[in-house]
Amino acid sequence: MAFTVTFNCISPMPIASRIIEDLNDGQPNRYASVLLVTIWEFGEAAGPLVIAPLSEMYGRYPVINICSVLFVMATALGAVAQTAPVMIVSRALSGLVVTSNVLGPAIVGDIFEPEQRGSPMSLVMLAPLIGGAIGPALSGYIAESLHWRWVIWMNVVLTSACAVLFIICLKETYHAAIIKKKQRLLHKASRQATRLEANDEVVEIKSEGQSGLIESIVRPAAILSSSGILLALALPGAIAYAHYYNVTTTMPDILQNIYGLSAPQIGVSLFSFSIGSIASVMLCNLALDKIYATMKAANGGIGLPEFRLPICIFGALALPLTIALYGWAAELKLPLSMVLTSVGLIGMAMLAVEIPLAAYIVDAFGDYSASAMTGLVVIRCLAGTFLPLGATP
C-alpha cells in the first residue's frame, strides 16, 4: 500500500500544470497546479486524527480495509473529474483515507521487538520511495503519448488490486485487538459459563467501545500537547517535508523553463530524489539497529527510544545545506547535473530525519504509537500543504 499511495500521490507532479490547464478551459493557474499536488497532504493531516485511534480501538485490519476501499473510490473520482475543483477535492479525499503513513510504522512496532525494528522500518520507508521514483517517470510518458487521464485510471487499477490483496491476505497485528478477539471466542465457546454471564460480558465490551470512542479520537492531540519532546521532534520532520514539496512543485518549472526538458524527461529527473532517499534507507538499514544495540550496551543493557536519534541529527544538520545548494544551483543556472545532485542530497537528508523519528515514536509510545505518529503526520502534512504555495521557481 505504501508503494501505491506514493505512486498515486506523486505521479501527477510533472503533469500538474497540464491537468489544470485542461480542466480550466486552457487557462494556466500556478496556484491551482501547486494545490493539486499539495492538497493531498492536507487530507493526510486530517485523516490520521480518526484512523489512528480507531485502529487502536478496533484493530488495524478493519480500518485498513475500509480505508482502502474508500481510497479506490476517491481515486476514481479524480479519473472522471471534469473541473479543476473536483480534481483537487478527489486528491484531498484520497489523502484523507491514507493509512500507510501512520499504520505502517505502528505495524512494525506490533510485529518486531525494539532491537529488530531498524531494518523493517527502513524497508517500510523504501516502498514509497520506489513508488515515488517510478510514478513521475511513468506518468510523464503516459501523458505525452496518451492522455493524463490514463495516469489516473492506472492509479485506480493499482489501488483496486491493493485493496483486494489486503482483504484476502492481511492479518490483524494489533495485540490488544487480537487478545480481545481471542477472549470473545473463548468466552463464546466456553460451556462452563452461563448464558447470562456471556451476555453480560458482551454488553460490557460494547459499552467500553462506546465510551472510549471519543477518548480514542482526542488521544493524538492529547499525546502531542502533553509531550514537549514529540512536538519538538515533529518540527524538523515538518520542515523536511515542506522542503520536499517545495522541491517537487518548483522542480518541473525549473527543468522546463531553464533547462528545456519535456514532461517525460522531468519525470525521469525526479529519480534523483529517490536515489538519494534509497541511499539514506540503506544507511538506516545498516546502522539504526547497530547504533541502538551499541548505546544500549553502554547504558547497562537498558534501551531507550532516544538511541534511535543520532542519524536524525546528521539529517537535520545536512538538510538546510542541501536546500541552499538546490536553490542557488537553479538561480545561477548551474549545470543540470548540479541541480539533480542537490535534489538527491535533499532526499538523503530528509529520510535521515524521517526514519529515525518514526522508529523513536514506535519505541517511545508502544501500543499508542499510531496516535503519536498522528501528531507527527498532521504537523508535517500541514507544512507540506501550505508552505509550498509561497514558493516560486
Per-residue pLDDT at 390 exceeds 80: no
User: How many structural domains is the chain composed of?
Assistant: 1
Neighbours of 252 (CB within 10 A): 25
Residue 246 sits in which domain range? 2-390
Give how far Cα 242 sits from Cα of 29, 239, 334, 359, Å.
21, 5, 24, 21
301 torsion bin: left (phi>0), alpha (psi -120 to 50), beta (else): left
Give the integer Cα–Cα distance in Å for 343 and 321: 11
Answer yes or no: is pLDDT of 42 > 70: yes
Residue indicated by cell numbers 544495540: 293
The answer, yes or no, to whether residue 110 has pLDDT greater than 50, is yes
Q: How far is CA 251 from CA 22, 26, 331, 336, 393, in A?
A: 21, 22, 12, 11, 7
Provide the percentage of residues in the chain whose pLDDT is more than 70: 92
Per-position DSSP letters for 217-284, written without gaps between them = HHHHHHHHHH-HHHHHHHHHHHHHHHHHHHHHHHHHHHHHHTT---HHHHHHHTHHHHHHHHHHHHHH
Q: What is the CATH number of the domain that holds 119?
A: 1.20.1250.20
116-165 pLDDT tens trace: 777 777 777 777 767 777 777 788 788 888 889 999 999 999 999 999 99
Residue 15 predicted with pLDDT over 50: yes
Residues in Cβ contact with 185 at an 8 Å cutoff, skipping those fewer than 6 apart: none
pLDDT tens for residues 246-286?
A: 887 788 888 888 998 887 788 788 788 888 888 888 888 88
Residue that has been written with the C-alpha cell 538523503 in this structure? 348
Other CB atoms within 10 A of residue 250 CB: 18
